[in-house]
A and B are shown apart, each in its own frame.
Chain A
Amino acid sequence: MDIGILEKGFQQHVDAEKKIEAKDWMPEKYRNTLIRQISQHAHSEVVGMLPEANWITRAPSLRRKVALLAKVQDEAGHGLYLYSAAETLGAERADLVEALNDGSAKYSSIFNYPTLTWADIGAIGWLVDGAAIINQVMLQRTSYGPYSRAMIRICKEESFHQRQGYEMMLTLCNGSPEQKAMAQDALNRWWWPSLMMFGPTDKDSPNSALSMKWKIKRKSNDELRQDFVDNSVPQAKILGITIPDPDLKWNEERGHYDFGTIDWEEFYNVIKGNGPCNRQRVEARKTAWEKGRWVRDAAVAYADKKKNKEKDAA
């Protein structure tokens, strides 16, 4: 069949708000864009375990420890669903992991920042999960069925994580002066990197138009970022801590908060691998993978032996 006819049918299907499923015809670029996006999302979940896992052994109460362990475990689970969603498009998980380990695949820039105090764990839950949810709520309606369904499931857990993180911040802000200072310091360090999570401005985001046309995305980076700022300002007020942006103010005319300029030089440097923890994060993933090689080999060898034994017995 003529590719033009297929493309037209595909677009009509998308425009009619119908989901594309794994076996449906799709433009190669749609497939590749999704594999890239979903695998980056999966890598972000897996790399995102590291900065939070950094505080599991130091959590200040058994209740907090159990909650943090469960949260990081949820992220591993999200990584699994997302790798599976990428596999429905013909990608191999082993190849995707390889790309993460050799540094060619990207993941969310936010996880290249260090968790220096316990308040950072609260700030990640509040801001980083908060930013992720804004993006993921939109992605629940993405045009690719398996991705959309994975997002619906993930969003439920993420909103729980966000509430948990905010409640941690609230406890710190109602605690001793040292604890409140810890919360303010965490907000100072995580605010701008959280805004960067939505990616470049719309004018510098060349792939966005096509993603919108195919309804992979439904809102632009700047729209999502604005939603995040509008949500966060009243939350910071309740906490009684200050967002580190002197230009932040309510704009009556727009019905939104205006905010200052993001340091894009920092953003592009972190993306390129020069962030404070890029090397440690990739190194940690690589080490885990390499140290686990003999384990995976043993599992395969044992399964083969067992299969042969069963064959001989038959």
Chain B
Amino acid sequence: MSARRPFTACLAQTSPRLGDVAHNLEQHREAIERARSEEAQLIVFPELALTGYRLRDLTFEVALGRRSAVVDELAALSKGIDVLTGFVEESDDHRFYNVAAYFSAGRLLHVHRKVYLPTYGLFEEGRFFAEGTRFDAFETGFGRVGVLVCEDVWHLSAAYAYFLQDVDWLYVISSGPGRGLPEAGKEPSSGKAWNSVLVACASFFQVGVIFVNRVGWEDGVKFWGGSKYVDPSGEVRSEAGQVEAELVYAELDARDLRLSRIHTPLRRDERPSILAQLIARLTDEGSLL
């Protein structure tokens, strides 16, 4: 196996302006330029980085088709640096998806449509967005990648789906609000839970996990940042703060994947067929929703 070289990823923890795609696109241009000057080979932006999060009726006003000028510009910006970012995609049949789009070498390489749309408490995504239906891994110049958007990662089956597809890296983009400020701990309760989930994903599936969460406020809701890289052994390697917009850099090294899988060969020993048989049986019995 040819040894892949380590690569540098820029975690672009931005604070998008709600409903202002032109402003947020300018944020993208500036961050990409800076990341490029720091010799990063990949830059990852938060969920809905081009639009802001609590869109409600703005969903229909900020949506982009795959052949729009903004998408073309993002593709053009991806020459010499891969770009992963989030926006609202309008399909040809006028469904609106919360997507993560991966651009590389001047073209749109992959789109993940968010599958799990939180619609409870302060979240209203199911009212405005259509659900994605797939978790498809794809090849990049730095290895095999799975992309998740925020709530997706809270359904363990989503990361497991990528585990079965032998991904090297899991990129999770998010607009996660801070909820609860317990006395103990260095982040909101929701942030603490997030960190456990990210470390668990890296550890269970022996992948490097990039998490990019936005900062800033929308109508009193604070997005808690805390973007980080968790290596395949579950160690947090790079971490951003919880308040400021900032660019944080992480070095991702495929040798870490090899070592973790020699130490504990979880994928080699995994028996997905047992789960497949269970799912088939429950489906036959009509008890699987």
* Interaction A to B: no
Q: Which residues of B pack against A, CB within 8 Å? A: none
Q: Which residues of A pack against B, CB within 8 Å? A: none
